[in-house]
Amino acid sequence: MTLEQQDKQYVLQTYARDYTNFVKGVGSTLYDENGKDYIDFASGIGVNSVGHGNDVLTSALCEQTKNIIHISNLQVIEPQAKLAQRIVELSGYDMGIFFANSGAEANEGAIKIARKYGETKFDNKRYKVITLEHSFHGRTITTVKATGQESFHTPNFSPYPDGFSYEKSIEDVYKAIDDETVAVLIELVQGEGGVQPFEKEEVQKLAAHLKAKDILLIVDEVQTGVYRTGEFLASNLYEIEPDIITLAKGLGGGVPIGAVMTKHKEILSAGDHGSTFGGNYLSSAAGLAVLEVLYPLYDSGVIDETLVYFSQKLKEIVAKYDHLFEKEVGLGLMRGLRARSAEVQGNIIKNAMQEGLIVLKAGRNTVRFLPSITISKNEIDEGFNRFEKTISTL
């Protein structure tokens, strides 16, 4: 039985899989079972923030597994407390943190915080959450409903929770607010929605308006957080102070972890929320190691150099192949090339694998790039050489 047959027989077929079997990774290069190498411009959909086989991360995980992998959250967990402190310090916000296992779980926690805030802080119950079209907030029933894409709201999983609405733009949010609105949930860069950033000024204006109305601003930084846009948080880049921020993806460097952080530290009481695995010894040790790797790169300016270099490569591609691409989009190392058709986008993603390059699909016909934050210039150069080979035949 081949690996593909095994997968199809025993694993639920919820993914349109590619059946390349990767067996090893070094930095931003992956190797399949035949020894062929691939430049990884996807990093596990923005998860492998310090690349593959990072010495600091792997050493931390090995040392932690020798001692304790997991105890319940009924006992204090030292690396969890240390990781919470480190995240708060790097964010610059006075917040408390709840740890979960994924971005969807982090967003569930954010919605629960908002709902309790709306229940306890006002005379009339506030429970409605406004999100934006082209957004993506997770795959649970609640976060699917919070996602502003009708294709996700199929009858197969209905009925969905009430209290969510979607606006086409930030400008439309103002008109949608009523006396039952408790929160607005946004991504500062819509990843699945086409790697589309919002304008800094319009986000700042919205944040100020919501603060004046006592409406919570929730920023989904599952993909934008942990230096993906150049700063620790995209919220730092936009110079706003959200009420609630969610993190996941790059925080654990490949080990599952999610986090919801809020300045409303008194809202949740014991028993209001919980997680068996969230923030356990292994995932917290991973988070601490990732930040140990990335902060010095940020502080020394290396991350800035990397994102400028990567952006320049994208600009060169658009200038040279403007018959294939409309423009480059995104921020930091969360980038995209807006293809002129879905056909072009699909052919690029499929053909790139044959050239030994991994890129991703996003909405609005976008070819998405989410390399590790630690990717080298040599790997960037080689990746774009392979990308040019991919598109030269189109």
- How would you write the pLDDT of the chain (394 residues) with one tens digit per residue? 999 999 999 999 999 999 999 999 999 999 999 999 999 999 999 999 999 999 999 999 999 999 999 999 999 999 999 999 999 999 999 999 999 999 999 999 999 999 999 999 999 999 999 999 999 999 999 999 999 999 999 999 999 999 999 999 999 999 999 999 999 999 999 998 999 999 999 999 999 999 999 999 999 999 999 999 999 999 999 999 999 999 999 999 999 999 999 999 999 999 999 999 999 999 999 999 999 999 999 999 999 999 999 999 999 999 999 999 999 999 999 999 999 999 999 999 999 999 999 999 999 999 999 999 999 999 999 999 999 999 988 8
Third-level CATH fold of 3-53+301-392:
Aspartate Aminotransferase, domain 1 (3.90.1150)
**CATH 3.90.1150.10 in the chain, residues?**
3-53+301-392
Third-level CATH fold of 56-299:
Aspartate Aminotransferase; domain 2 (3.40.640)
Burial degree of 188 (CB within 10 A; 0-12, 13-18, 19+): buried
**CATH 3.40.640.10 in the chain, residues?**
56-299
Type of residue at 367: V
* Longest CA span, the chain: 65
Strand partners, 148: 133
User: Torsion angle, CA of 341/49/200/83, rounded to 10 degrees?
Assistant: 150
First to last CA, the chain: 36
Number of other residues whose CB lies within 10 A of the CB of residue 144: 20
Task: Indicate yes or no: pTM above 0.95.
Answer: yes
Cβ atoms of residues 334 and 366 within 8 Å: no
